[in-house]
Each structure stands twice: as C-alpha cells, then as structure tokens.
Chain A
C-alpha cells in the first residue's frame, strides 16, 4: 500500500487496533474472573495491568502517521482559525506583503531576464565585443566612448588573429523592399562572414549566409528574421529560394533565423551581406561593430594583447589613399578594450536596475517592519495565552513554531498574491518600459522568479515573525504570567521594540525619498536644457532613402528630395519643411572627420574629429534651431554646388572666437577639396541626448563634390524629413505625408515615422523610468513610515490611558500631554532622520551616473526632505495624541 492511500485507509486501521485491544482486555477479565475475582475487580485489575489504553492506542496509531506533518497540519488549522477571526489584520498584512513581494518579484524578473540570464547564444561566455578605445582622437573621444571597427581592421583581425574561433563585424542599416506590397523600408543588419558562425544560432529554415555571399561582385543572398518572415510572408517555409528586391537589387532568400534571434541587441528584419571588398577598402570607415568567439581557454586580456599587435599589422597593410600616412593613426592611441558581449548588451542599464532593485528591496524591508509591528501588537494580546500554554508545559519551540507558522503562512499568502501583482506589473513595465531597456522582449516570470518569490515570502515571514518570537516566547526560567499584566516597566520594554522598528522605517524612507527627489531634480534639469530644437510635439519626422539602384546620379536625388519637400509643404497645416542626415537623439551619425581651416597651419597631425551633418535649406527653421549668426543655405546654392557650410556655435567659437567672426571664413575636408565658406552659425544641438555634451558639428550642403572623385557629385541618400505642423502625430496627417512621397516616386518607402517629441522623450526614457520607479518606491516608503509612527503613538496612547488619567487627575494640562507624545515621535523621527541622512549620503554616490546637473549631495534635497518628513511625523503623532484629551481621568482610573 502506498503512503498516500495509507493516509486515507488509516481510519480502518484505527478500528482494527481498537477491536484488538478491546478483545485483549475482555479476555484478561475472563481469565481473572476464572480465578475467582468479581467482574468489577477483574475489570479494574485488567485495565490497570494493561496501562493507559488511550495512550497505547495513540502510539499504535502513530505508526501509521506522518507524525510531524500532521501536527504541523493541526497547527496550521489553528493559524487559519486565528486569521479568520481577525480578517482586518489578515487582509492588511497580506495586501502589504502582496505589494511588497509583488514589486520585488517584478523587478527581480527584469533583473534576471536582463542581467542574470545568459545571452541566447550557445556558450555565450565565449562571446566578446571588439571594442576599441581611441583616447587620442579628440572630438570623437568626448562624444563616443569607443571607436568602431573599419572593414580593413576586420579583414586584418579575421586573417591574422590567434585567439578567436571566429570573428565578424556588423552594422545596422536600412533597405527598401519593393515589389512585395507597398514599398517598405526595413531594418537590416549588414553582416560580414563570421557573424553567424560566431553567434552560433542555426537557421530555422534554409541555411546561413556563407563566405561566397560576401563577394561584392556576386549576387548576395539575404536571410529573414522570424518577425519579418511572419509579418511579410505569413510564416511560409517555402519562402527559401524566393527572390526579393532589396534596394532595387534582386536577392535570393537563403533562410530564416529562429524566433528571438537578434544580432547582439539589434532587432533586424533582414540580414544582408556587407560585401566587403579587400581590394577597395581603406584604413578609415569606422562603422562596424565587431564580435568574436574566443577560443576555449583564452582570456580577454590575451585577446586584447593579440588584437593590439594586429593594429600594427593593420596600419602596415592598408592606406587611406595615395600620399596619406597610414601611421597617422598612431596619434589616436588606439587600444583594444574587448569586453564580454553581455556587457555590451546590458551596458548602461545595469546601474538603473540595481538601484531600482535595492530601492524595492528597502520598501520590502519597510513593509516587513510594519507587519512585524502589527504582529507585535497581536502577540501583545496573546501574551496571557502564551504564558498559560507555557505554564501548562508547551515547549518553547512548540510555541515559537506556532508563531512562526502564522507569519510564514502570512508571508506565503502575500507571496501568492504578490505573483499576481508582479504579473500585472510586468505587463505594465513591458509596455511603458524604456525602449533602451535591452532584452525587453525576453522579460518573463520564469522559474527563477517564482523561486525568488517563494524564498522571499518565507524569509520575510521568518523575519517579521522572529521579532515577536524573541519578544514573547517565555523563557525557560519561568512563565511571565504576572508580567503580562499592564505594568509600566513591561510596556516600556515592549515599546522599545516598536521604537527601533519605527526608527529603521524613517531612516529607510528618508533614503528613498532623497533618491526620488534627486531623480526629480535631474529630470527637471534635463527639461531645462535647450536641446537645440523647439516645440518637438509639432515636429513630425520620417526617414526616406533613395538607393543608388533606384536613382543612380546625385543631382536627381536632390531634385526628388526637393520635390518631396514641396509636396509635403502643400499639405494642409504644414508651416515649414526640411531634411537632415541625422535628427538629434535618433542615434544616427552620418560621419566624423577633421576639418582644415584656411590660413591656419594644421599644427598637429591630431586635429579634433567633428561631427558631419548634411542639411537642406529650411531644415533649421523647421526644427527651431536658432541662427546665432549669418544665414541658411538657399536652394540655388545647393543646385550650383556652391562650396559653403554652416557651423555649430561651439565650433565657431573654438575656431574664430565668436560666431560673427566665423562668417566668411573658409574650411575644407581634405586638401584638394574646394574651400567652403561659412555662411551661418547655429546654436549647439544636443545630438546624443540632453545629458550629453553637444558635439562640434559641421553642416554641409546635401550636395557636394565627392571626396573620392572631384569630377563627381556626392549626395546623402538617406535623409530625415522634418515637417512642422500642428497636425503632427495624427494618423490622417501621416497618411497624407505618405501619399505626398508616393506622388513623387511610388517606390520610396517611408520609415521611422514619429514626432520629435517621441524621440526627445525616448532619449530621457532611462531617467524618467528611474524617476517613476523611485517615486513609487519613495511614496510607498513614506506612507508606510508615517503609518508606522502613527501606529506607535496611538498604541502608546492606548497603553498609557491609566497614566494619562493619573496625570490629568494631578492637574496636567492637555497640551502638555499631547506634547509628551509628539515629543517622543519627534525623537524617533529625529534619530531615524539622522541615520537616514548618513546612509543617503553614502548610497547616493552609487546613483551618481544617473544624475544630471545635480550633486548626489544636493543641499536643497538633503534639507527639504528631512524637514518634510519630520513635519509629516509631527502630524502623524499629533492626531493620536489628541485622543489623550478624550480620556476621562475618573473612567481611566476606575477601569483598572
């Protein structure tokens, strides 16, 4: 018979035992009567000889029981009975815990999914990012932390390294897909060979792209992402081998990657071979992200050393064209700084998540202390009962177990409800979470999260349960039957435990509030920064690309772009239009290079890097970027390819002292290129977000002499179109925009349609996310802390009714009594505040990277928050203290 069925057939067993024992006694009685005893005496003797029948029966039963479990079940039954008797208490505690545990589980799930879970590639610990530092490249070093790889670097590394199993480079791009339905612009990852081998995820259908697809003269194939395959081909496996038109070039679909596959953290639609041509590549062109898979046993430091050596090989093997010095790049002091790929993926969000996790953890601690406080009050009421049970011989462990069982039960109930809270919270988070949160789509409540909840529930139950246990389980020396009476000394003793809890709560609440206020001040400081554009909500942005395969020559490209502007300007409600190669905060960077100034000897080989951008006439007016000096380009100048340029204010000041002085001065990109005259200076633009310095920027006309061949014209083919209109963001407006574009050329897809406001908010997403999380946590902590003070004072008042009565009878004034209680609250808050200030001063240093325009020890915050907290504490204690005035001294004394 299995244990399980035994459990249910036990009652029959018990009957058997009873029958056996009964017969045994009867037989004994018979026997005794046979030797001449009376029935009465015989029965008595038989029973006496037999011993305690009940005990014996129990011991026989026990053989069949899971004894520990059953006594636990009995205790559990008591726990539930007690909880049902005080539903208010039970609901308060379970709700408090549900919120606390739920919030923790939700944040842990995020932390787990984003930071702890390994990357979804086989043997992810072997994967590294090929980061390069170039501290000697001024301009670039301030604006971007790392230097990307050039194609020639990749070709060098791939063929000469001794540390990688495989290596590859990739770059995000876009492509126009035509011929399927409406023309569509999709996100592509341009990949070199080696990327798919490095990441190691097999194709879902078809095969990987191969080395031969990289042939720049061949007809490269493409691969689809799972999402694009579903969206555009309905998940048809027969798609492999079909031909699609990518940037007006026919390409065969080689395969489909599985669901969830990303190139590092880039969500692409199409994998397109980069088609690197070893014959044509230069040293320059730092546009690729590199990833590699280390050989087993190779440490990152070894790989760094190997790559550092290859940088010399690289400079020896390539040039930037005839006459240029390949060893010029020595000035840049390029050093490899390889890092685990995971660091690249989760990067900057780490601090935010750990801060939020710690914050929510503190809220949980505060919630636990509140629950402990409630339990203390409850245990207070059971003091007599516990003392009696102890006196009657209940073991200390048994009593402690009962108390702990109750708190762990509460913890588990709270945890169960918490899972629901966490689930709802995560749904909310994945919809409002910052777009830059990496791996957002991977966030889920998995086994680890549930295990975390379970552990947290039990631990918190033990934590807040242990406090009443230490305080109330009678010591072995003797039960405190007498002490349970309401004597002054005992209640003071008991009050001390609660006081400690309140001080801890105040301190923790203060830390969280200071963190929240610092984030609010950071957010306000960011809002106050002039981003270099105005009224972003009415600025509509979209990206348009005119591939070479569609329009070959440069001049017609500008004509098409210009006529699209005209069509857009004709839409109702549009006040201004223009286009630019990169809108601020979009993450797109057209290019970087130095400029040469007329009349100035290029004193060092180490000229600063400047951000290059390309604009149409009217763009600055449309974006709301102010002219500090000079004027805009005109269309006539664009078509005549007049050599002119516009500079950013900081660049003009750096070069010529003032914006006005810059007008009429000349500069160019390479010697041999025509000199460009400065016609205007515009205010600085926060290209990489409001909290990042504005890079020194050169604005070129969108049509120029090609840098590589002076007889050709160069044009920027992918442009962001900016449209100023009070109808920005509305769907009917977007549809009209699309029609306007297609009325010029029906093969042009429109991409990344958004308002500048979305881009602007997105760039502040991390700050506002942290802000919201800290504000929620701070508010919860504040509310719980104030509630704690209120609870302690009102309990103190109710406990000291008799004392109040005596004092009043002796002539104490009500105001004095009220002050007595308010003062004790002030002392508690004061101590908590002092501790909290110290802790905050230390902890806020950890948040330094999240702050902007404000010190982690901002005096205003460190003064205002404690004052507000103390004021709230005074109020919270004043209300219950007022109740002392309701005490009737006669009643109070008689009640004893």
Chain B
C-alpha cells in the first residue's frame, strides 16, 4: 500500500506488500493471536482437574485441539481474504519452487509458537485467577511486534534484528509472510524458518516446565 517513488518500500514491491497484507489478515485467524481464554477459564472454575487426570499431557492435549481448530480456520477464515486479495489486487506470487512447502512449514511453526505463547499466558491463571493483566500485555505486544500493524522491516535494522532473534513475536507473522513473498535470498529464507523451529522448541519446553510448577502448586492447595 505504501510505496515510495521507486515502487519499493523497505525492500518490498507493491505486489509483495499486497500479498503481505492480505495473507497476513488470513493468518491472523489461523494462528489465533487473540482471544483464547479457554484454559484460564477452566483453571478458574476448577474444571482443569479433569484435564490433569487424563493420560495425555495437558500441553499435548490442548495443542492437538488447537491444531484441529486451526485446520478448520484455514478453510473458513484464511481462504476468503486471500481470494479477495487475489481477485482485487496485483499480488505477488512465489517464484521459487520450494517457497510453497516452506511457507506451509513456516505457518505450522507460527501456529505452534502462537499456541505456546497463549498457553503460557493462560497458565498464569494458576497464580493470578484473573489473567486480564498478562492478556492485555500479550494482546498489545503481539500485534505490533509480530508485524500485523506494519511490516517489521520498516523499522531500522538495529530494532528489527534483536526483536527477531531474541523474541518469538516476529516468528508469528512476519517470518511466514517474508518467506511467502520471497523478500530475502534463499539462504536467509530457510534460515528464518530455522529460527522459528528453535522458538517453537523453546516455547513448548517453557509450557511444559511452567505446567509442572503449576500442578505442584495445585497439589499444595489441596486440589
């Protein structure tokens, strides 16, 4: 949408930006950045106890359910905006043969990372009961730091690079979209997905650790 005299803005062409915006809108519902409080609600009401009695680890249990939800959202919420973009705008279509599969992998990793972040925010309910504070922090920071409001490459490099390496946020939206519009060289494109892989692992481990602490706390409280 925004483009300077050269037709380029921060390394994106007009077509690449159009793809970035429309696919980004579609991804929003797939990774479900906002509005998931199911686990926190169950912790508050005590229903979470029945989750803990199941033979499946709660993180695995909830992740599986979330993957199913995302699959459905892919059909109902991802395709419409992408089709609208395709029909009404000059959008950029990938030129490298492997970009398609790589984007699918990147999207799946973004979903896992997003799920993990949401799960951690919800877990604070074990300590706080009302997760309004953490939820607000997550809602405000995730949108702007993931690249929803503007492509993060519009920021100076000294802001963007630390953000991208040291926080999981750009891996939620910015990375899959950069992969799709082929903004970088092939090596960087694959490397960005590698960073996502690291973050997905770290976040899931964090979920598992915090879950264990929370369960111990539950036992202390007497169930």
Q: Do A and B bind each other?
A: no
- The residues of B with any CB-CB pair to A shorter than 8 Å are none
A residues near B (Cβ < 8 Å) are: none
